[in-house]
Structure 1
Amino acid sequence: MAQLSYSKFLWNSVNLHGVHSPFVFGITRALNTKTMLYPKTATETLDRKTIDILFRILVNLHKERLVILGDDATAVVDLLRNYGEELKLKLWFFSTFAPISGNLDLIYISASDTAPILPQIETLMPSIGSNTVCAIGNIHSSAQAEYDWETIKKDPRVTVSIDTYHLGLIFFRPEQAKEHFMIRTTTSKVLDFALGAKNLWGLLY
């Protein structure tokens, strides 16, 4: 399997105008609404675009109950905690080592070895509701990561999956038909016009 290039992703992606599901439209609007700049304490070891998308999810979708797992979990928790303090957000970080009461708002999992992701999600299933955002990092970092992302998307319990290139988002919504989206979080009038013209051309021909 060849790795998906960012240019190929953009060519196949959509923005707000290409989404017809009300639920996914709300998610897309949140992903495309810029938030305040995150703290200058942001570590350079983390992908800044990934962190930016996480911040947009936290602020624009009002997510407070979090579980952060993976190789960079400590750095992400520290970053989000600092961000929350600066913006006076009420963020609650939960651990998989203790029982979790109620549904989580956001689960972020990132690992160089993506094989354990599904087992980690399985452990958290009792705390995952219809509006829980499960964000998976590094989905295009290697051919193996892309294979694992495809496997996760095909899980029969996953009804909505969104590829933002930098992050994969999955939702367990039994009330919704299974759909997959490729959504760009970069807004550009020139890019939107070019890709809109491409989609129009496809409809006409």
Structure 2
Amino acid sequence: MQKVFSYIKYLIRSTNQHGIHSPFVYDLTTKCFYKKPDSFNKKALKAHRFSILSNKSKIEITDFGAGSKVFKSDLRAIYKIAKYAGITSNRALLLSCITAYFQPKTVLEFGTSLGIGTAALHIGNPNAQITTLEGCKNTAEIAQKQFDEFSFKNIEVITGEFTKTLSTLKFENSLDMVYFDGNHQKEATLKYFHHCLQFIHNESFFIFDDIHWSKEMESAWLAIKKHPKVKVTIDTFQWGIVFFRKEQEKEHFIIRV
């Protein structure tokens, strides 16, 4: 019920491009969010997803996050993980469009899972160097096999609990993009957010998945919006997108996507 009420509030408060007065956000909305997706990218994403949905084998899941609202058992069929718990086709396509629009060179992803979101990041910009973190060894192995099968290059999968693996990462260059989709708990989300702040530059942006997943995540999103380094945020209900552009006035948008 919490998520239903949050969605009703979102629908009441959200707007489209006609209610946006920021040129930066207006261009992002009209030239990315509402633009017709590239047909090649759409076909590539569809082929990758179909390959995973065709996998009927089962794997044991190790979950260090908030757990699943869908599955009761840790033994799960791969195709069911993709179908019921993975990123949807529409969101994967939008993620690919966002990556294509901004062309980030260095990307960090929290939560590889089966690699569908990672594939969207890669397809959007094949030249991006993607570092993706996954807590579960078995899902990480499936994702890596998929990347090899589709010849997705420049993707490094790091397996282990985020609190342990994150501290070992040393980025020579700043991070252009961070996609948070690995732990839907307030304390962990804010911890990862603050850690990644040390790698940002003026054009960096973060995407937080499931910001309305729980009251806890909504509280985390509110704290992120208030951070002094955060200048522009966009709430699409499913995602919270954060920008650090110093030339922008601090402003928050709720946009129907």
TM-score (norm 2): 0.62
- Deviations 1:74-108 (Å, cap 9, x if unpaired)? 226x3255456667721211364321122222101
**1:14 equivalent in structure 2:** 15
> Using CA pairs below 8 Å that are at least 6 residues apart, which structure has the higher relative contact order?
1
Shift of 1:41: 2.9
Alpha-carbon spacing, 1:85–1:52, altered in 2? closer, same or farther (3 Å): closer
**2:35 equivalent in structure 1:** 33
**1:94 equivalent in structure 2:** 131
Which residue identity lines up with residue 63 of structure 1 in the other structure? P
**2:230 equivalent in structure 1:** 158
Between the aligned residues of both structures, percent identity stands at: 27
User: Which ranges in structure 1 are unaligned for 5 or more consecutive residues?
Assistant: 186-205
Shift of 1:40: 3.4
Is 2:220 the counterpart of 1:148? yes
Moved more, 118-127 or 40-49: 40-49
Please, which of 77, 96, 101 is the counterpart of residue 55 of structure 1?
96
- Deviations 1:127-171 (Å, cap 9, x if unpaired)? 212221200011111111111111111112211111001100111
**2:64 equivalent in structure 1:** none
Is 2:137 the counterpart of 1:130? no
- Aligned partners of 2:201 and 2:121: how far apart in 1? 23
**2:211 equivalent in structure 1:** 139
**2:25 equivalent in structure 1:** 24
RMSD: 2.5
Q: The residue matched to 1:74 in structure 2 has which SS? A: coil
Alpha-carbon spacing, 1:86–1:175, altered in 2? closer, same or farther (3 Å): closer
- Aligned partners of 1:20 and 1:46: how far apart in 2? 34
Moved more, 32-41 or 16-25: 32-41
Q: The residue matched to 2:171 in structure 1 has which SS? A: coil
Q: 1:39-118 maps to which residues of 2 (within 5 A)?
A: 39-42=46-49, 43-44=82-83, 45-48=85-88, 49-69=90-110, 73-75=111-113, 78-83=115-120, 89-94=126-131, 96=166, 97-110=168-181, 111-118=183-190
Alpha-carbon spacing, 1:85–1:104, altered in 2? closer, same or farther (3 Å): closer
Aligned length: 181
- Aligned partners of 2:252 and 2:186: how far apart in 1? 20
Which residue identity lines up with residue 177 of structure 2 in the other structure? L
Which residue identity lines up with residue 98 of structure 1 in the other structure? L
Which residue identity lines up with residue 59 of structure 1 in the other structure? A
User: Which ranges in structure 2 are unaligned for 5 or more consecutive residues?
Assistant: 50-81, 133-165
Q: 1:171-186 maps to which residues of 2 (within 5 A)?
A: 171-185=243-257
TM-score (norm 1): 0.76
Q: The residue matched to 1:116 in structure 2 has which SS? A: helix
Determine if contact 2:86/2:116 at 8 Å carries over to the other structure.
no
Alpha-carbon spacing, 1:181–1:81, altered in 2? closer, same or farther (3 Å): closer
